[in-house]
Amino acid sequence: MKLSEQFTAAIVELRVFLQSLGADLHDIKNAIQSIDEQNKTKQDRDNTPRVIVAEVQKPKTPEDKTNPYKQREERRDWIRLFIETLTLFAVAFYGYMAVRQWREQIAARHKTESAVQAAQQSVGAALQANIDARNRFVIDQRPYIWVPDIKPLPIVALQILRADIFYANYGKSPAINQSGTGKIFFGEDAMNQAYKWFDSLGNPEQFAAFLAKHQEGSQAVIPPGLPPDIEKQGGHSTILSDKVPTQDEVNFIAKNDFSAVIALRFQYYDLSGNRYWTDVCVFHFASTAIGHCKKHNEIH
């Protein structure tokens, strides 16, 4: 049995005892009052004077010693004092037990709150662990499109510059809804023209809106893996220049490094709908070799 239940049972027994004691005292009081009335009637009939004996010692008041009515009053006062004292102790004990039980309830509530908080933290940690695991899986399985081969076509005066771009998916999952855009820039400031063009594409949302508006290219699905023959089995696009070069510009391109720049950006998605993009920027050497720009060779 719990402490609170024991205390409740003790209080009930004490209450029953006090009620029984009160009933007994009430009966005693009625009996005493009946005897007092009989004695008073007898005293009224008995007119014989009483002899008062004086003693050398200082006595108590004769009424206090000889009056049985006052003696009974004193006994009743003592009994009443005893009952009131007992009641006081019972109330004090009840208050002590109530306070103790209240403190135990508060302590139990604090323990429950701590357990709830710990459970919530555990659930939050588990959810975060699941999110982290999912993010790691997405990163590990995501598609990576890159351009392993670029073949510029011969540069001819008064003809648009062209270059064939071959790309593949180096990731572990297909790249879906792949699309992109690109340009060829030439001249003394070809590199700056390319950088400004990249800046004009904006953030991923702006670039997606740009593709939707200009309908650049068709959307494709690029399976994962590098094919044995990239030119026959990989992805392929042809990049053009906006303007045609003059003969002097063709001669300038042939004799100078950084005189022609190919810039392009791909956008693609994984099977979960996450968006990615790849920037490629290469330039022309006078030796006809191809180098990569300092910026905008990135996979996001």
What are 240-260's pLDDT values in tens digits?
999 999 999 999 999 999 999
User: What is the Cα–Cα distance from 59 to 55, expressed in whole angstroms?
Assistant: 7
Residues 50 and 73 in one domain: yes
Residues 88 and 224 in one domain: no
Q: Decide which of 138, 156, 190 is a domain's last residue.
A: 138
User: What is the Cα–Cα distance from 268 to 278, expressed in whole angstroms?
Assistant: 9
pLDDT recorded at residue 7: 59
The total number of structural domains in the chain stands at 2
Residues 189 and 150 in one domain: yes
User: What is the Cα–Cα distance from 195 to 188, expressed in whole angstroms?
Assistant: 14
Residues 213 and 260 in one domain: yes
Cα–Cα distances in angstroms (integers) from residue 24 to residues 68, 71, 113, 170, 214, in the given order: 21, 19, 52, 102, 107
Would you say the C-alpha torsion 221, 225, 227, 230 has a positive or negative sign? positive
User: What is the Cα–Cα distance from 17 to 31, expressed in whole angstroms?
Assistant: 21
Residues 97 and 205 in one domain: no
Q: By residue range, what is the domain housing residue 16?
A: 3-138
Residues 161 and 126 in one domain: no
Residues 156 and 217 in one domain: yes
pLDDT recorded at residue 128: 87
Residues 130 and 155 in one domain: no
**C-alpha 85, offset from chain centre:** 57
Residues 153 and 294 in one domain: yes
Q: Which residues in the chain show pLDDT less than 70?
A: 1-12, 14-18, 21-22, 24-26, 28-29, 31-32, 35-36, 38-67, 69, 215-218
Q: Decide which of 92, 110, 138 is a domain's last residue.
A: 138
Which residues does 120 contact at the CB level (< 8 Å), separation at least 6? none
Exposure b/e, 84-97, CB count within 10 A at least 16 = b: eeeeeebeeeeeeb
Residues 134 and 174 in one domain: no
Residues 156 and 63 in one domain: no
CB atoms within 10 A of CB 155: 20
pLDDT recorded at residue 223: 93
Q: Decide which of 138, 159, 176 is a domain's last residue.
A: 138
Cβ atoms of 300 and 276 within 8 Å: the answer is yes
User: pTM of the predicted model, to two decimals?
Assistant: 0.59
Residues 150 and 288 in one domain: yes
